[in-house]
Chain A
Amino acid sequence: MFDWFEWEFTLSLLTNGVLIGLMYALIALGFVLVYKATDAINFAQGEFVMLAAFFGAVMLLSAGAPFWVAVLVTLAGMIAFGFGLERVVLRPLIGRPIVSVIMATIGLAAVLRGVAPLVFGAETRSIVMPVEDAPIIWGPLFISPIQLIGAGVAVMFLAAFTWFFLKSRMGIAMRAVADNQQVAMAMGINVERYFALAWAMAGVVSALGGIVWGSLLGVDVHLALIGLKVFPVVILGGLDSIVGAIVGGLIIGIVENIAAGYLDPVVGGGTKDFAPYVLMIIALMVRPYGIFGKRQIERV
């Protein structure tokens, strides 16, 4: 029963799933950074990506900037946005129940989705990367250059942030803040500054996510929907784990591609959109803290 064509088909679905999965992981990383440091669930992660893509597209199309300049400006803009947001909206909420921060991010998401088209216009724009459009053909595989770049950027940043949290003094301090704010404060750590840093880092990740996803899907308000994919990814991998974001991203990317390849022809399409959430619900039932998430340590 071994079918050569089927095997090639599966392999190409897998490859695609891995690349897309890494790109999901990049977005999920922004979410994880904020959760790790501040315990806040950022419901506006998708909107961050959308905003960054708008920055990038406007720089490229309206301002006519070279690609690398557009990337740098987007990065700078999103870092400023992260710091500003922490200062203006989130800092006044320090010490309040965490649910107020969550509500604030939900509100922020709605505001960004509403205001972005007003400021930037409603039409769909494109971000064109300075690379060949034609797919790279490698044996039986057709690989999109944009996806390859997206996955490459994702791997780079996932590795960089993993190093940051495990090895750098700042990264360790940030984990200390996440572990216990009051004690971190008593150890001489400026907790507010680390909160701001976490949001700025989410800005950096969103800037790159916005550029790669924007060039893949086009830039308009619908790009924010990418944020919804973050939830199955981080629920699977663990809200506070970078490795979890990678693994969760890969699983979701692969599952949705396989589902689309094999189930869509049977049921008539659409499985890609709900397969990740089925997986998420199962994950919540069997392992609510995720594959790599920290379990609450009971011992005192």
Chain B
Amino acid sequence: MLTINNIEVVYDGVILVLKGVSLEVRDGSITTLLGANGAGKTTTLKAISGVLRAERGEVTKGSIELDGKRIDRFAAYDIVSHGVVQVFEGRRVFVNLTVEENLVAGGHVVPNLPKVRAGIERVYSYFPRLKERRQQQAGYLSGGEQQMLAIGRALMSDPKLILLDEPSLGLAPMLVEEIFGIVRQFVTKEKLTVLLVEQNAAMALDLADHGYVMENGRIVLEGAAATLRENSDIKEFYLGLNEGGVRKSYRDSKRYRRRKRWLS
């Protein structure tokens, strides 16, 4: 469905952040992109969704293809019309709009009103809590409700591919579980495809079919999620387990050594 070929992304004309990233997202799959802070995960998603321009960022090399069609020169609104939508890190709901108005705004590319209405009902069926709060200003929702709204709002554009940026950020484990369950339903019931960026590697690898690990603007590791779960580097660095499978403190893992090995 989505193929990224060796892209470079530059901010402000000089800051090179992605240094040749390639990845592939297969139709109907969940693919996860893991990596430490500042690795370039969010930048990768923004390159796909076309919103880099709003921060003076640019894809300077390589190409991004959706079902064989190049989309890296498209305006953001065009990319949404082609069925790709991004859910931002940190939720970023429209705080001054009500829950329902957020959903209406999310359905902007949907041409007719009955379809928008049906879209709203579909979101409410996944997130009944949003229905209870439909007239409430989104800025006053709890963090978890805002995350549901951000995902629901993205669903409103009737996408083929959803780009999810750290949906677990700052949420209680139970809520993360619930949201991940719904993401899984998107794939099984709605035939959506998901590209999931996560810091929470354990949960992401449980959910995903395939994974990539990013370091410093490059992909350093790739494989089936099951394989990655067994990878000793991932185990130690991301899952905080040592060779025996015993949980280890994050501080103990020697990050510099791991990174060096991935890059070589």
Contacts and interface: CB of A to CB of B under 8 A. Distances in A.
Contact of B94 (A179, A185, A299, A300): A179
Given A180-B94, A183-B94, A172 B153 contact: no
A130 interface: no
Interface in A284-300: 294, 297, 299-300
Contact of B77 (A175, A179, A188): A188
B97 interface: yes
B247 interface: no
Nearest to B91: A300
Contacts, number: 83
Nearest to B79: A188
A294 B96 CA distance: 8
B140 to A, nearest CB: 7
Interface in A175-211: 175-176, 178-190
B51 A175 contact: no
B106 interface: yes
B51 A176 contact: no
A187 B105 contact: yes
Interface string B57-88: 00000000000000000011100110001101
Interface in A137-190: 169, 172-173, 175-176, 178-190
Contact of B75 (A169, A183, A190, A297): A190
24 contacts: A175-B96, A175-B101, A175-B105, A176-B94, A176-B108, A179-B97, A180-B94, A181-B54, A183-B88, A183-B94, A185-B50, A186-B49, A186-B86, A187-B85, A187-B105, A188-B81, A188-B85, A188-B109, A189-B105, A190-B77, A297-B96, A297-B137, A297-B140, A299-B140
Interface of A: 95, 169, 172-173, 175-176, 178-190, 294, 297, 299-300
Given A183-B88, A187-B154, 20 more contacts: A95-B54, A169-B108, A172-B97, A173-B108, A175-B96, A176-B94, A176-B101, A182-B51, A184-B105, A185-B54, A185-B76, A186-B49, A186-B85, A187-B109, A188-B76, A188-B77, A188-B81, A188-B85, A189-B108, A297-B96
